């Protein structure tokens, strides 16, 4: 059995292997079929059956087990995660591993299809430095733009939040410009 650090590095390598040999669409298909619809069936089942309660049950347990630096916030019409220290991306950074060009994107690659199927939209942003936020809502209660500042528990208030390139999603749609084709 491989340890979690080996798994994270292998995961990163696998994404790049798929991209290099089969194209970006193969990576996205892997995230959808192998992660969202297969290995994360337990998360999918909880969230489809219990909505916000399922999110709290899944991420409350998972992030605690991963020893992530995070806060959870829940209101009547939203569930929010602020990730201050992502254990996976943090490990890759610490070990100088960066096989795949956007490791952080795999989370949206498996979470978005699950939320789509469960009837939620996502506001999300990650900075490629192990920090991100997620805010899930029902479409009827979505915000007109990115979520408001949540004060000291908002990852966007960290001094180093803007240190790297960001990718943002509003209402589950990317607002990050596509890279220029060379």
What are the structural domains, with CATH classification, of the chain?
A: 4-174 (3.30.1380)
Closest CA to 122 of 45, 37, 55, 27: 55
φ, ψ for residue 44, nearest 5 deg = -55, -45
Q: CA 88 to CA 70: how far, in whole Å?
A: 13
Q: Please, which pLDDT band fits residue 3 given cuts at 50, 70 and 90? A: low
Closest CA to 155 of 178, 123, 115, 182: 123
Q: CA 77 to CA 119: how far, in whole Å?
A: 13
Q: Helix, strand or coil for residue 162?
A: coil
pLDDT value at residue 182: 39
Q: Beta partners for 168?
A: 125
pLDDT value at residue 15: 97
Q: Using an 8 Å Cβ cutoff, are 129 and 95 in contact?
A: no
**Tokens read off for 60:** 């409350």
CA-to-CA separations, 180 to 125, 176, 177, in angstroms, rounded: 21, 12, 9
What is the pTM (predicted TM-score) of this model? 0.91
Q: Please, which pLDDT band fits residue 155 given cuts at 50, 70 and 90? A: very high
pLDDT tens across 106-129, in order? Answer: 999 999 999 999 999 999 999 999
Which H or E run contains 179? none
Closest CA to 171 of 124, 108, 131: 124
Rg of the Cα atoms in the chain:
16
**Tokens read off for 167:** 């990718």
Q: Helix, strand or coil for residue 177?
A: coil
């Amino acid at each position: 059995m491989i340890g979690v650090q080996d798994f994270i590095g292998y995961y990163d390598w696998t994404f790049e292997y798929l991209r290099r040999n089969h194209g970006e669409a193969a990576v996205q298909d892997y995230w959808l079929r192998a992660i969202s619809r297969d290995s994360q069936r337990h998360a999918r089942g909880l969230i489809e059956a219990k909505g916000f309660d399922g999110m709290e049950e899944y991420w409350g347990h998972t992030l605690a087990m991963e020893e992530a630096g995070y806060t959870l916030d829940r209101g009547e019409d939203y569930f929010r995660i602020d990730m201050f220290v992502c254990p996976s991306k943090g490990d890759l950074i610490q070990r100088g591993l960066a096989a795949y060009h956007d490791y952080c994107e795999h989370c949206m690659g498996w979470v978005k299809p699950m939320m789509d199927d469960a009837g939620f939209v996502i506001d999300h942003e990650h900075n490629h430095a192990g920090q991100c936020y997620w805010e899930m809502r029902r479409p009827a209660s979505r915000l007109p733009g990115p979520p408001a500042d949540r004060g000291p528990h908002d990852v966007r208030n960290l001094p180093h939040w803007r240190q790297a390139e960001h990718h943002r999603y509003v209402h589950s749609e990317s607002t990050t410009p596509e890279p220029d084709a060379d």
